Amino acid sequence: MIVKNSGLIELPRITDGIDGTISVAEVEIHIAFQIKRVYYIYDLENSSAVRGKHAHKELEQVIFCLNGSFILTLDDGENQEKILLNRRNIGVYLGKDLWHTMSDFSANCILLVLASDNYKESDYIRNYNDFLSFLSTRP
């Protein structure tokens, strides 16, 4: 990955024959932060839908695509990267100070997000130019 504050996370896939497959995400093994919030995004029926469009000052997240596919675009203020998420056991770590968008959702796409804190509007940067200005104040 070329973007700062990000990385791929691969969860184990345990296949149990006709009884299906399980993937497990464990704190301190796969997820580097304590999980305080879990949410999922679905019913993305509009092909032009774009989610995200923000950065966080402190929040850390891991995002997975549980069904279908989508494009995750990451921007650290210097580099941009587009990642196709389409495998249920592969997620992307989104650290702080990272602008992100999700787009190009396939039919029946379902996203799962694990977050390090409860929702706090004050942690969001929702304007890209404000994001760039904020980065210039970081050490």
The pLDDT of residue 47: 74
What domains, with CATH codes, occur in the chain?
6-135 (2.60.120.10)
pLDDT tens sequence across 106-133: 999 999 999 999 999 999 999 999 999 9
Residue-by-residue DSSP string for 16-83: -GGG-EEE---BTTTBSS---EEEEE-----TT--EEEEEESS--EEEEEEES-EEEEEE-SS-EEEE
The pLDDT of residue 46: 85
30 is catalytic: no
pLDDT tens sequence across 58-81: 999 999 999 999 999 999 999 999
Active-site residue, selected from the candidate residues 30, 54, 56, 100: 54
Q: What is the pTM of this model?
A: 0.92
